[in-house]
Amino acid sequence: MIASLPMYDRPENMAAHDALWALIRNGLRDRGLDAPDALDRATDHMEGWGRPDLVLGQICNLPYRALFRDRVTAIGCADYGLSDTPAGHYRSLFVVREDDPAKRPEDCDGYRLAYNEGMSQSGWGTAWAWSQARGMTLRPALQTGAHRASVAAVAEGRADWAAVDAISFRNMAGRDPGAARLRVIGRTDPSPGMTFITRPGQNPAPYFAAISDAIAALPAEHRDEIGLRAIVALPPSAYDLPLPPNPASLPL
């Protein structure tokens, strides 16, 4: 069995995620479902999502739409309480260096974009959709492997801007020196947030109930550290979004 919450699980909030998992685990067991004692932090997230013994995972909506929609059971979307954002959705923030003249994302037509990976909704997919809707040219000039690395790339001048998951950027505030050198100039359009999943063929209802109860019971200090406010059931049609191209196939 495997359970993992890889999207926002970082060393600085590990204790809070462990506390959340303990509550979910106990809730699942109380409902007659097997659950591992601890979160798995060693297995690559893409491998974990495809495991036949997956008890609980958390997946970005782009890999879910592109690769896993028919291979897992969707439970519900994590809601992190972002302002002016529909429940169960999230956005990315467009960031530039403090001294960059851009005042809004529309000023960045043709800028060199740092993105974490091509299978990331927050770092690539949502930026592509936003630019397509506005007729802008997006130049995916640098793949960094992580939002934190994209922030560093912009701060150091190796790229001009980036789309950074709003929850990730919030978690970096006061902790990441690169983030302190950047300025937010806008947000992407909302799309479904990080989706809780389990292996295929499962009834999502007891999982949804266990997660909902765990969020409500999480001590305030852990809830504030993670920022998780609720789990929200979205209709399957919420994921019916166009798939972006592979950024490596676009002009630099």
pLDDT, tens digit, for every residue of 99-118? Answer: 999 999 999 999 999 999 99
Mean pLDDT confidence for 195-216: 98
pLDDT above 90 for 121 = yes
pLDDT at 171: 92
What does pLDDT average to over the chain?
96
- Do 51 and 125 fall within a single domain? no
- Do 174 and 203 fall within a single domain? no
pLDDT above 80 for 203 = yes
Q: How many domains does the chain have?
A: 2
pLDDT above 90 for 174 = no
Mean pLDDT confidence for 232-240: 97
pLDDT at 235: 97
- Do 76 and 141 fall within a single domain? no
Question: Could you tell me the residue range of the domain that residue 226 belongs to?
Answer: 2-85+192-239
**Domain presence at residue 118:** yes
Residue 59, amino acid: I
Q: Which residues of 190-225 are buried (b: 16+ CB within 10 A; e: fewer)?
A: bbbbbbbbbbeebebebbbbbbbbbbeebeeebbeb
pLDDT above 80 for 214 = yes
**Domain presence at residue 131:** yes
Helices (H) and strands (E) in the chain, counts: 8, 12
**Domain presence at residue 250:** no
What tens digit of pLDDT does each residue of 21-39 get? 999 999 999 999 999 999 9
pLDDT above 90 for 224 = yes
- Do 173 and 208 fall within a single domain? no
pLDDT at 251: 77
pLDDT above 90 for 250 = no
pLDDT at 249: 86
pLDDT at 24: 98
**Domain presence at residue 246:** no
**Domain presence at residue 247:** no
What tens digit of pLDDT does each residue of 148-169 get? 999 999 999 999 999 999 999 9
- Do 231 and 154 fall within a single domain? no
Collapsing DSSP to helix, strand or coil, 146 comes out as: coil
Please state the φ and ψ torsions of residue 67, each to the nearest 5 degrees: -130, -30
- Do 37 and 162 fall within a single domain? no
CATH number at residue 110: 3.40.190.10
- Do 10 and 134 fall within a single domain? no
pLDDT at 35: 98
- Do 101 and 222 fall within a single domain? no
d(Cα 100, Cα 191) in Å, to the nearest integer? 28
**Domain presence at residue 157:** yes
Contacts of 248 (CB under 8 A, 6+ apart): 118, 140, 143
Sole residue written with tokens 């590990």? 14
Residue 50, amino acid: G
- Do 43 and 101 fall within a single domain? no
